[in-house]
């Protein structure tokens, strides 16, 4: 990526200098040859820069950042202990252990998704995980069982609430919504919670 970017800018600069040099010379044939050569350099350099921008845009729209690691341990029938370890800039923080019920667990929080042109420039979506909850695989069990949920930090997220209220008047915001990701309780496998430009993900560790 880096060398393609440097090559692109180098060819664009060289092409521009070649064009200026050609048009300062006398003779129509020299100008035509110089224009063709300079235009070719500008074209190749522009293609290199367009490739770099396309790859960066793809990374911006598809990248996922790990924000926590989760471990679970069964404590009884349909009851489990979950340990949430936040991760910031690759460094684990203070773990938080909570007691939940169900055979699945879920993380929820608010998302503010910027318009695509801001995402393409590398601006990450605003997010804040606010809740961990137990979950059942079937709706019947969910209805018959008391809910279990624990706050992650202070609720509600006031910043997200203000974005939600002002969303119709903010041209740089594409959507303001809540995101939830859930998976089955599996004590044998710790999992990562990641955030992408569109919401939360639960995935096996890739470190």
Q: State the pTM of this model.
A: 0.70
Within this chain, do residues 124 and 186 fall inside the same structural domain, yes or no?
A: yes
Within this chain, do residues 23 and 85 fall inside the same structural domain, yes or no?
A: no
Within this chain, do residues 46 and 146 fall inside the same structural domain, yes or no?
A: no
Instruction: Look up tokens 């569109």; give the residue.
Output: 198
Segments forming the whole domain that contains residue 28? 2-61
Q: What is the number of H-type helices and E-type strands within the chain? A: 5, 10
| 64 close to 206: Cβ distance less than 8 angstroms | no
Within this chain, do residues 21 and 89 fall inside the same structural domain, yes or no?
A: no
| 101 close to 90: Cβ distance less than 8 angstroms | no
Q: What 3-state class would DSSP assign to 99?
A: strand
pLDDT digits (tens, 9 = 90+) for 47-83: 655 555 555 554 544 577 899 999 999 999 999 999 9
Within this chain, do residues 109 and 154 fall inside the same structural domain, yes or no?
A: yes
CA 186 to CA 106: how far, in whole Å?
13
Single residue among 10, 42, 61 that ends a domain in this structure: 61
| 176 close to 160: Cβ distance less than 8 angstroms | yes
Chain-centroid distance of CA 130 in Å reads 18
pLDDT digits (tens), the chain, 207 positions? 555 545 555 655 666 665 666 666 666 766 666 666 666 665 666 665 555 555 555 454 457 789 999 999 999 999 999 999 999 887 898 999 999 999 999 999 999 988 876 766 667 788 899 999 999 999 999 999 888 999 997 777 889 999 999 988 888 888 899 999 999 999 988 999 999 888 899 998 865
The domain total for the chain is 2
Torsion of CA 154, 159, 164, 167, to 10 degrees: -170
CA 174 to CA 35: how far, in whole Å?
44
Within this chain, do residues 113 and 30 fall inside the same structural domain, yes or no?
A: no
- Which residues is 196 bridged to in the sheet? 199
- Which residues is 114 bridged to in the sheet? 173
Q: What 3-state class would DSSP assign to 198?
A: coil
Residue 52 in tokens: 């770099």
CA 107 to CA 86: how far, in whole Å?
12
Within this chain, do residues 121 and 143 fall inside the same structural domain, yes or no?
A: yes
């Amino acid at each position: 990526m880096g060398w393609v970017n440097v090559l692109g800018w180098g060819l664009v600069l060289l092409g521009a200098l070649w064009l200026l040099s050609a048009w300062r010379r006398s003779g129509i044939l020299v100008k035509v040859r110089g224009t063709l050569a300079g235009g070719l350099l500008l074209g190749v350099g522009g293609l290199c820069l367009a490739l770099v921008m396309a790859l960066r845009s793809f990374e911006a729209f598809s990248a996922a950042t790990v924000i926590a690691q989760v471990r679970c341990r069964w404590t009884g029938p349909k009851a489990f202990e979950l340990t949430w370890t936040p991760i910031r800039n690759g460094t684990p923080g203070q773990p938080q252990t909570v007691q939940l019920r169900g055979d699945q667990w879920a993380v929820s929080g608010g998302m503010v998704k910027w318009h695509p042109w801001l995402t393409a420039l590398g601006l990450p979506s605003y997010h804040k995980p606010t809740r961990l909850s137990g979950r059942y695989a079937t709706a019947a069990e969910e209805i018959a069982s008391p809910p279990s949920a624990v706050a992650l930090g202070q609720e509600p997220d006031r910043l997200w609430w203000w974005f939600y209220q002002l969303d119709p008047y903010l041209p740089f915001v594409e959507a303001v919504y809540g995101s939830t990701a859930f998976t089955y309780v599996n004590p044998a496998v710790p999992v990562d919670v990641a955030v992408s430009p569109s919401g939360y993900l639960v995935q096996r560790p890739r470190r």
